[in-house]
A and B are shown apart, each in its own frame.
Chain A
């Protein structure tokens, strides 16, 4: 009775609590929030009380540019919670932000997507931090299922659908059929690893140190996964390690392609393993229709080409791949009350 009353003042949410970005889908409204999973914490003197300085986009701008008393941190790492308290605060902030009602404390039902490789401890941490952030009830759903539903795949049919979700911290590959997971694997390679690879490459080859934000910008601008027809160039500034002063230099897309080889092949081999492990009937279905790419990683230039050439099966990039998981969770949320949704991990 009470929960129904609370339901009137708060809307159900589907949260894609990602390493890089947190997306919130509100029931009946669509994607209402898409912000980086970054929190800036202010602590004025050592041992003093910590307070939240900024969350989301504002906090991300501070990454690597903070004074001593402010630390900008990313509370999620490899798809799971690394800093419990900060994650809770961040979720609380986001939930409050998407609820316009200022009078009551929102207490929505929340569906959170978790990587399929997450351990019991990691799942529990997510559930508890959602509860701590004010969720009335927390449901967990495996990311590949949400991604497949969000991409519009017919996962209820007796036919194999393969989905590859490349997130910020993890990449999930799964083969689904009849509303269930036939095979799934999670590798801790994602956008962050790409950035790291670019940073390492630049340091090794140019002797220049660049920050996280710069590495991400390079990836977005000239990053590619497969040799393209045109060569893209970009001017980058960083600190020269030997001289100790900032220097400017030019990077091209082929160099980035070379830098990204290692993490990309980690993903490719995960996909190949998945194809090996898939039962032949479902493997045939996947080979006929192809696999679907979702997540921010799908936006890397020509990553579908790479996977297509490596695996020999068609690769399709989902529409609006960044929001696939949150939208899929939202669709589950909308149908949850009417139908039995058997892939939800309930309490």
Chain B
């Protein structure tokens, strides 16, 4: 073709970077025109012209173009590597495969399943925590109750026991306590604290009684120290029954010290906090001593021989 060289020269100056220029020159040198090349490579004439002109926009994807350049170069007896390097420098980016953007249905289904499972597990976990907290609170309540029970059971009995110990010299007792080995006491104290509410009161009494009899240092149990001091501060009420009489004696703490029918000849010594509230059925046959001092209650005796009166401390 006559017109070819003219067009080539026009284009050559503009695009020096691409492989087209080299290939076109070589093609012309070999005396081939575009239709001939296109026929040999089974490509359309447009593609060959686009390669010659480095017009990569109108060409297919780089994967194809590289193949075209390779085949074209081989036909022209050219080394395809430098040509491909030139092309790669100018080639558009490799196409990204666009996978479907839509979310698959089964995946969405999985998502609801996943969220559902998560929700259920969270609910279960929350319930478990609530149950656990409740359980803990109940346990603490029961512990508190058992402590209260322990005190309630042990205190009056201890007071009664301490009445027997009252004559003892407290000072000497305390000295004795200090001299005793601590380990045994500590064990004893442990036993006491580990006693549960289900234990029978009698057993606790035994334990407590033992406690009082056994030397307990003040550090091991503050309760026992308080007990001792209360023993010291207590008052004693002695009732002598000359005949059978019904009696009900309460101390200042409203603790019942004696109640019921008392036989004749009984001498009752009651220990407690003054004032004592006494209610006697047959008051005329009872002699009362408050802290070993006679107490006259005749003025309280009513017509039916009953008497209701208070005995105050008179030390």
- Which positions in A face B, CB cutoff 8 Å? 149, 151-156, 179, 288-290, 292, 304, 308, 312-319, 331, 335, 339-342
B43 located at the interface, meaning its Cβ lies under 8 Å from any Cβ of chain A in the complex:
yes
B63 located at the interface, meaning its Cβ lies under 8 Å from any Cβ of chain A in the complex:
yes
B62 engages A152 (CB within 8 Å): yes
Q: How far is the CA of A313 from the CA of B62 in the complex (A)?
A: 18
Assuming the contacts A308-B42, A318-B63, asked whether A342 and B71 have C-beta atoms less than 8 A apart, the reply is no
Chain B residues with a Cβ closer than 8 Å to the other chain, count = 25
Q: Which residues of A contact B67 (CB under 8 A)?
A: 290, 292, 304, 314-318
Q: How far is the CA of A342 from the CA of B43 in the complex (A)?
A: 33
Q: Which residues of B contact A151 (CB under 8 A)?
A: 63
Q: How far is the CA of A155 from the CA of B66 in the complex (A)?
A: 17
B68 located at the interface, meaning its Cβ lies under 8 Å from any Cβ of chain A in the complex:
yes
Q: Which residues of A contact B101 (CB under 8 A)?
A: 339-340
Q: Which residues of A contact B99 (CB under 8 A)?
A: 156, 179, 335, 339-342
Q: How far is the CA of A126 from the CA of B15 in the complex (A)?
A: 52
B63 engages A292 (CB within 8 Å): yes
Q: Which residues of A contact B71 (CB under 8 A)?
A: 304, 314-316
Q: Which 6 A/B pairs are nearest by Cβ-Cβ distance?
A: A316-B67, A152-B63, A339-B99, A156-B98, A314-B42, A340-B104
Q: Which residues of B contact A149 (CB under 8 A)?
A: 97
Closest to B95 in A: A154
A152 engages B94 (CB within 8 Å): yes
Q: Which residues of B contact A319 (CB under 8 A)?
A: 63, 66
Q: Which residues of B contact A312 (CB under 8 A)?
A: 42
Q: Which residues of B contact A156 (CB under 8 A)?
A: 97-99
Name the distance in Å between B108's Cβ and chain A's nearest Cβ: 11
Query: Which residues of B, 5-46, contact A by the 8 Å Cβ criterion?
Result: 41-44
Give which listed residue, B63, B95, B97, B102, contacts A340 with CB less than 8 A: B102
A339 engages B70 (CB within 8 Å): no
Q: Which residues of B contact A179 (CB under 8 A)?
A: 97, 99-100
Q: Which residues of A contact B43 (CB under 8 A)?
A: 290, 314
Q: A154-B95, A340-B101, A342-B99 are in contact. List 13 more A-B contacts (CB 8 A).
A: A152-B94, A156-B98, A292-B63, A312-B42, A313-B42, A315-B42, A316-B67, A316-B70, A319-B63, A319-B66, A335-B97, A339-B99, A339-B101
Q: How far is the CA of A342 from the CA of B42 in the complex (A)?
A: 34
Closest to B59 in A: A289
B103 located at the interface, meaning its Cβ lies under 8 Å from any Cβ of chain A in the complex:
yes
A153 engages B100 (CB within 8 Å): no
Q: Mark B79-110, 1 if CB is under 8 A from A, else 0.
A: 00000000000000011011111111001000
A290 engages B64 (CB within 8 Å): yes
> Which of B43, B102, B107 has the most chain A CB atoms closer than 10 A to its own CB?
B43
Q: List 9 A-B contacts (CB under 8 A).
A: A152-B95, A308-B41, A317-B70, A319-B63, A319-B66, A339-B100, A339-B101, A340-B102, A341-B99
Closest to A178 in B: B100
B44 engages A340 (CB within 8 Å): no
Q: How far is the CA of A150 from the CA of B49 in the complex (A)?
A: 28
B60 located at the interface, meaning its Cβ lies under 8 Å from any Cβ of chain A in the complex:
yes
Name the distance in Å between B277's Cβ and chain A's nearest Cβ: 74
Q: Which residues of A contact B149 (CB under 8 A)?
A: none
Q: How far is the CA of A237 from the CA of B95 in the complex (A)?
A: 48
Name the distance in Å between A307's Cβ and chain B's nearest Cβ: 10
B166 located at the interface, meaning its Cβ lies under 8 Å from any Cβ of chain A in the complex:
no
B61 located at the interface, meaning its Cβ lies under 8 Å from any Cβ of chain A in the complex:
yes
Query: Which residues of B, 89-138, contact A by the 8 Å Cβ criterion?
Result: 94-95, 97-104, 107
Name the distance in Å between B260's Cβ and chain A's nearest Cβ: 75
Q: How far is the CA of A149 from the CA of B102 in the complex (A)?
A: 20
Give which listed residue, A288, A289, A318, A331, contacts B97 with CB less than 8 A: A331
Name the distance in Å between B228's Cβ and chain A's nearest Cβ: 64
Q: How far is the CA of A312 from the CA of B63 in the complex (A)?
A: 20
Q: Which residues of B contact A304 (CB under 8 A)?
A: 67, 71
Query: Which residues of B, 163-204, contact A by the 8 Å Cβ criterion?
Result: none
Q: Which residues of A contact B68 (CB under 8 A)?
A: 290, 314, 316
Q: How far is the CA of A289 from the CA of B47 in the complex (A)?
A: 9
A314 engages B104 (CB within 8 Å): no
Q: How far is the CA of A155 from the CA of B95 in the complex (A)?
A: 10
Closest to B43 in A: A314
Q: How far is the CA of A308 from the CA of B41 in the complex (A)?
A: 8
Assuming the contacts A152-B94, A316-B66, A319-B66, asked whether A340 and B61 have C-beta atoms less than 8 A apart, the reply is no
Q: How far is the CA of A339 from the CA of B102 in the complex (A)?
A: 8
Closest to A312 in B: B42
> Which of B42, B61, B97 has the most chain A CB atoms closer than 10 A to its own CB?
B97
Q: How far is the CA of A341 from the CA of B95 in the complex (A)?
A: 17
Q: Which residues of B contact A289 (CB under 8 A)?
A: 60, 64
